[in-house]
Amino acid sequence: MRHATLLLLILFSLNASCQKKEDAPPTPVATDPKPLTPPKEYTFTDKPVWQDEFDYVGKPDPAKWGYDLGGSGWGNNELQNYTDRLENAQVKDGKLIITARKEASGSRQFSSARLLTKGKGDFLYGKIEVKAKLPTGVGTWPAIWTLATDSNYGSQYWPDNGELDIMEHVGFDQGRVHANIHTKAFNHSIGTNKGSQTDVPTASTEFHVYSLEWQPGYVAFAVDGRQYFRFDNTSSYNWSQWPFDRKQFLLLNIAVGGSWGGQKGVDQDIFPQSMEVDYVRVYELVEKK
């Protein structure tokens, strides 16, 4: 009997000890909170990483510029045939001069030039500056813009892979320039275009600097350093809204007529018309120190 009582006391003690351990709150484990990573801040290099000052004479430097050629309408019902002739694109007096002419060219009645840096100057982020004086007259449609170097997204090269219009001008709206972005989700063909415009009364009589600042978080467009359109990348966007994380190249051209430039016809008596470019400079995007 004594042994049985002793055994019961031992069992009761063990049970109470286990119960106390089960009821006891867990001992907190000391952990250091993870530090928040501040967003990166960027700036642009002081010196260009790619440039053309047009300090030579003749055809545009073939190490920096190529040509789009032909007169297919270029998706906009345009009226010009693009050539690589000196008469349509030449460098003289320190400037690149792109000229649209009224003349039989290919199957078209106008000739012009469309220069591009693809394979010779392809950029991911940075700041692009183009100092230019624009043509004038109803039917002219000059542009300074970029397209994707490669087809990385979607099933169509355009608009799936993006376009950045640094400057567009239509001659029937003489004192105004436009900036636009085009993506699969945001483009004029489906009525979702993102862009803006600003008055530049002397666009065709004086040189102005048209620029694009391109960072991972936004693209911003300016004239003479005055920003007038910004498009921000957001965390909810996918490639159809923001394909601008791949390389793009620069284009310079004058179109004639077309779905926008020709909305009020083409004045046959204004030609030849030229866009003069004083310089093109591209600055690299770098992290602030």
Supply angle C-alpha 121, 124, 130, rounded to 5. 55
Considering the candidates 22, 41, 87, 168, report the single residue annotated as catalytic: 168
| Cβ–Cβ under 8 Å, residues 112 and 258 | no
Considering the candidates 163, 206, 276, 287, report the single residue annotated as catalytic: 163
Q: CA-CA distance, 11 to 21, in Å (whole number)?
A: 15
Closest CA to 49 of 132, 148, 128: 128
Q: Does 168 qualify as catalytic in the annotation?
A: yes
Closest CA to 111 of 133, 65, 142, 79: 79
Q: State the amino acid at position 87 in one-letter form.
A: E
Supply angle C-alpha 183, 184, 190, rounded to 5. 100
Q: Does 22 qualify as catalytic in the annotation?
A: no
Measured between alpha carbons, how far apart are the two ends of the chain, in Å?
A: 84
Name, in order, each residue with C-beta under 8 angstroms of 20's C-beta and a sequence gap of 6 or more. Answer: none
Catalytic sites, residue numbers? 163, 168
